[in-house]
Amino acid sequence: MKQILRAFIVVCCLMPFAAKAQFENFKDSVVQLYGVVMTADSLRGLPAVSIIVKGTGRGTLTNGQGVFSIVVLKGDDIEFSCIGFKDKVTRIPTTLEGNQYSIIQLMINDTAYLPAAIIKPRPTREQFERDFVSTDVPDDNIEVARKNTDMATRRILMRTLPSDGREAVNLNLARSAQKYYYTGQVPPMNIMNPFAWGEFIRSWKRGDYKKK
């Protein structure tokens, strides 16, 4: 029992020194990486270049002049990627002295070759005029909005679309208020009301009573 207690005391005494040594090793491996990303042909700073530490998901972007700064570890692989340029991977040296590392990363244009397109004219002028007139031109946003907001379309939507929660609650409250308003008496008849007849005629002309 005394030996176990003695070993426990020794471990407790050595633990702070081991943790301190481990922290010193981790602190020594942290590197402040900074630099600039430029084009290889014109040495122009590239903005919005993605800089990712592979395997960690951490990264940053270059500013408008191509300058960047990020905290990495010694031995990390840094991937530079930008649309229109080839990806570039750079490794932080493990034998780096100090905790700062500067780099000037040059990016090479990534040229994409598209298949050749051959443009041929119409055989005759009459065929060109016929094809030009019969071409189906899609509607633009203004024309689509105009078709969706005309009177006929709105009437169809009013008859087919169900009421939302707010409209249903308001309709139920209005019916309840009308019912309670005439509680204990006979509600008036609208058969002699000219306004009710006018609304009935307008609804009939709109086709509200047609079978769906």
Domain end point (choices 107, 128, 157): 107
Residue 143 or residue 159, greater confidence:
143
- Same domain? 145 vs 102: no
The whole-angstrom separation of Cα 133 and Cα 48 is 46
Segment 147-158, tens digit of pLDDT = 888 888 888 877
> Does one domain contain both 55 and 148?
no
Is there a single domain that holds both residue 102 and residue 36?
yes
- Residues 111-129 pLDDT 10s: 878 888 888 776 788 888 8
User: Within this chain, do residues 97 and 168 fall inside the same structural domain, yes or no?
Assistant: no
Report d(CA 186, CA 179) in Å as an integer.
Answer: 11
Of 64, 84, 107, the residue at which a domain comes to its end is: 107
Residues 6+ apart with CB under 8 A from 108: 40, 85, 86, 88
Count up the domains in the chain and report the number: 2
Q: Does 120 fall in a domain?
A: no
Is 114 inside any structural domain? no
131 lies in some domain? no
Pair (85, 152) in one structural domain: no
**Residues 20, 59: one domain?**
yes
Look at residue 76 in the predicted model and tell me its pLDDT: 92
81 neighbors 90 (Cβ within 8 angstroms): no
Domain CATH code at residue 50: 2.60.40.1120
Residue 50: Cβ within 10 Å count: 16
Instruction: Domain of residue 36: give its range.
Output: 2-107
| Residue 61 · residue 83 · CB < 8 Å | no
User: How far apart, in whole angstroms, are the C-alpha atoms of residue 188 and residue 182?
Assistant: 9
Query: What backbone phi and psi angles, to 5 degrees, belong to 152?
Result: -65, -45
Between β-strands 100-107 and 30-39, what pairing exists: parallel, antiparallel or unpaired?
parallel
Question: Is residue 88's pLDDT more than 90?
Answer: yes
Is residue 10 pLDDT above 70, yes or no? no
Asked if residue 195 belongs to a domain, the reply is yes
Closest C-alpha among 85, 92, 55 to residue 70:
92
Q: For 33-59, what is the mean pLDDT?
A: 91
Whether residue 141 has pLDDT greater than 80: yes
Q: SS3 helix, strand, coil % of the chain, rounded to 5?
A: 40, 20, 35
Residue 113, domain member (yes or no): no
Indicate whether 82 belongs to any domain.
Answer: yes
Asked if 39 contacts 76 with a C-beta cutoff of 8 angstroms, the reply is no
CA-nearest of 87, 75, 80 to 30 is: 75
74 and 25 assigned to the same domain: yes
How far, in Å, CA of 39 to CA of 46, rounded? Answer: 7
Q: Are residues 25 and 102 in the same domain?
A: yes
Residue 160 lies in a domain: yes
Tell whether 67 and 15 lie within a shared domain: yes
**What does the block give as tokens for 63?**
């500013």
7 and 91 assigned to the same domain: yes
Q: Are residues 14 and 87 in the same domain?
A: yes
In a domain, 62, yes or no: yes
